[in-house]
Amino acid sequence: MGIHENTLKCLQIVTPMLPRCYPRMSRRFNFTKSEIDGLPIPDHGKREDYQDTKAAGLYLRISHTGIKTFSVLKRIKRGQLERVTLGRYPEMTIDQARRKTMEINLKISEGNNPAEIKRAARDEILFSDLFADYLERHSKQHKKTWMEDQEKYNNHISGTLGNKRLSAIDRSIISMLHSSITKQGHPIAANRILALISSVFGWAMSAGMWESNPALGIRRNKEKSRDRFIQGDELPRFFQAVADEPNETVRDYVLISLLTGARRSNVCSMRWQDINFDRAEWRIEETKNGTPQTVALSPEALHVLRNRKSDKSVFVFPGTGKYGYLAEPRKGWERILKRAGIDNLRIHDLRRTLGSWQAKTGASLAIIGKSLNHKHQNTTAIYARLDLDPVRDSINTATSAMLSAAGLKEPADVINIKKKTK
């Protein structure tokens, strides 16, 4: 039944004084995947034990339900036998079981109590528990993008690693997850998932909750810097598609994202109290790089904001989600791109679009860095000394150039283009 006759060897244990945890009869063979997969299922109410010939003390128990469980059975001082359950096959691989067996044998040889080892194995936390601790104790406290960590875990990590105990997670499992996401056509996302897993284990080590990081040493996919932005010949179609968007919140969100060059998370959570219409400024207290930012608002941006001004909500773009403001409108964005006939454009590319048009109209890299709140050790000091007026002039010039390329003349045209062209 899957095991060659010449690999089976009966080991009859007849001593009646031995503890009940010791198998009364087990068959010994070299554990391999094909051999284990071919083992017969015991009759109802029975179970069978098999012993590995490669790792001393490693056993596999099969119940009548077909569940296969690895364990270590070792005799300690005074002849007492202890069984330490390792994990279920195939969630725990043969190599993992053998490595764990060697670790337990070493601890026993050093005089450690197997009962304590057994309790430690039983109480070992799942990766889902570790991630929950990481999110609350680290990510939420130190990362503005902690919600992205939660989203990555829910979408890509939970189903693969969530229910695994930490000792069952090794480099091969994580590498397979990285490879799977890459093969789905998302090489950059695969790198981000790998980085998050590594960060979780790294934090666990610093917190004294685990002793190693199995994500280290896995080769990441090569990444190319993205340089996509809206080209001049695409602008007329883009503005028309935005104006035709039936959801005004989505329409205005896209326009403000383009006209300010702000990060999408900041635009989503934009508050009325942070906007000064008299000074034409938007104050962002917390940005991704940890520094506050004052955004110069062009006449076109001010027109969009005044047009939707409301005292009913704290947020400029209210939403029905957990935090009360708009989540990234992916479906609305897809509608706009489809109407415009534009491919390979992301919402984040709107930020790059403003910076690119600033460069086209002669703005210096320092001005662009200031307006987009870039942070770089070599240029941060220069950004800090810049006055907002040249930044405002650069944004207004770039905005005028974009609108001119789209055939628009007045600030109101960015939302009235539908009426204007029909």
Kindly report the CA angle at 171 between 165 and 172, in degrees rounded to 5?
95
Neighbours of 60 (CB within 10 A): 24
**pLDDT tens digit sequence for 37-49:** 999 999 988 899 9
- CB burial of 246-264 (b: ≥16 within 10 Å; e: otherwise) equals eeebbbbbbbbbbbbbbbb
Q: Which residues pair with 294 in a beta bridge?
A: 283
> Taking the domain 235-421, which CATH number applies?
1.10.443.10
Q: How far apart are CA 291 and CA 306, in angstroms?
A: 27
Q: Distance between CA atoms of 200 and 195, rounded to whole angstroms?
A: 9
Helical H segments across 207-329, by residue range: 235-243, 248-260, 264-268, 299-307
Relative to beta strand 10-12, strand 25-29 is antiparallel
Q: Which of 50, 86, 82 is nearest to 71 (CA)?
A: 86
* C-beta of residue 317 within 8 angstroms of C-beta of residue 326: yes
DSSP codes joined into one string, 305-326:
HHHT--SS-SBSSB-SSTTSBP
CATH of domain 5-123: 3.30.160.390
H-type alpha helices, 124-247: 127-134, 140-142, 146-152, 158-161, 171-183, 187-206, 235-243
Beta pairing, strands 68-75 & 47-52:
unpaired
> Which tens digits make up the pLDDT trace of 221-241?
988 766 788 888 899 999 999
From its phi and psi, is residue 324 left (phi > 0), alpha (psi between -120 and 50) or beta? left
Comparing C-alpha atoms, which of 272, 285, 259 is closest to residue 372? 259
The two three-digit tokens of residue 90, written as one number: 């195939």
Report d(CA 167, CA 102) in Å as an integer: 13
Are 249 and 317 within 8 A, CB to CB?
yes
Q: What is the pLDDT along the chain (422 residues), one digit of tens a residue?
A: 444 444 333 333 333 333 444 444 458 999 999 999 999 999 988 899 999 999 999 999 999 999 999 999 887 766 667 788 888 899 899 999 999 899 888 888 877 766 666 666 666 789 999 999 999 999 988 887 788 899 999 999 999 999 999 988 999 999 999 999 999 988 989 999 999 999 999 999 998 888 889 999 999 998 876 678 888 889 999 999 999 999 999 999 999 999 998 988 899 999 999 999 999 999 998 777 677 889 999 999 999 999 998 778 899 999 887 788 998 898 999 999 999 999 989 898 898 888 888 877 877 777 778 787 776 644 333 334 455 677 788 888 899 889 888 888 788 888 877 554 44
Name the packing angle between helices 248-260 and 330-340 (round to 10°). Answer: 80
Q: Among 45, 48, 44, 69, which residue's Cα sits nearest to residue 2?
A: 48
Which of 191, 151, 188 shows the shortest CA–CA distance to 174? 191
> Nearest to residue 392, comparing CAs of 400, 404, 380?
400
Task: Give pLDDT, residue 418.
Answer: 56
- Rounded to a whole number of angstroms, the distance between the first and last alpha carbons of the chain is 77
**Backbone torsion region of residue 164, taken as left when φ is above 0, otherwise alpha when ψ lies between -120 and 50, otherwise beta:** beta
Q: Note whether 409 and 399 are within 8 A (CB).
A: no
pLDDT at 211: 85
| Tokens, residue 33 | 């995947």
Cβ neighbours of residue 295 closer than 8 Å, sequence gap 6 or more: 260, 261, 262, 281, 282, 283, 284, 371
* CB of 271 closer than 8 Å to CB of 316: yes
List the chain domain ranges. Answer: 5-123, 127-206, 235-421
Q: Considering only CA atoms, which of 287, 293, 289 is closest in space to residue 265?
A: 287
DSSP 3-state of 66: coil
Q: Distances from the Cα of 177 to the Cαs of 151, 162, 183, 215, 379, in angstroms?
A: 16, 12, 10, 11, 38
3-state SS, residue 416: helix
pLDDT of residue 283: 94
Note the pLDDT of residue 219: 93
Degrees, nearest 5: CA angle 398-382-371: 25
What is this structure's pTM? 0.54
Query: Which residue in 329, 158, 178, 363 sits closest to 255, CA to CA?
Result: 329
Count the Cβ atoms, other than its own, within 10 Å of residue 183.
10
